[in-house]
Structure 1
């Protein structure tokens, strides 16, 4: 299975979308929306902002591994 590193993060407040490259060696717990400046944090049960707000889950989850 090929791991996808590109994801599109969508801000739940303003709807702004931005393509980001996910790191393979770290989780990202915080992400600031470029448009409205809200700091996003993972939703309950998710390990990182990519799993909560991204179009693609983070690399460890894609590999069926535990995230961080």
Structure 2
């Protein structure tokens, strides 16, 4: 890979629970990302207000063409 080559898109995102702050690394899906996810630490259901849980709570946004964020 040379300096002029584009970097590949990240394939993982760190999702952080808004209630307890627990972080988990998840693979970005190829298709539509989920709009809800349960925190494995506190059990709270994370409901996306926008496109999906990756866009609202993740370190990397989803790759969906329909995402408007």
What's the TM-score bracket when you normalise by the shorter of the two chains?
Answer: 0.7 to 0.9
Equivalences, count = 61
| TM, length-normalised to structure 2 | 0.79
More helix by share: 1
Higher Cα Rg: structure 1 or 2? Answer: 2
| Separation (CA, whole Å) in 2 of partners of 1:18 and 1:55 | 10
Structure 2 residue runs without a partner (length 5+):
1-5
Matched, 1:18 2:24: yes
Structure 1 residue runs without a partner (length 5+):
none
RMSD: 1.3
| TM, length-normalised to structure 1 | 0.80
Runs of 4 or more above 6 Å deviation: none
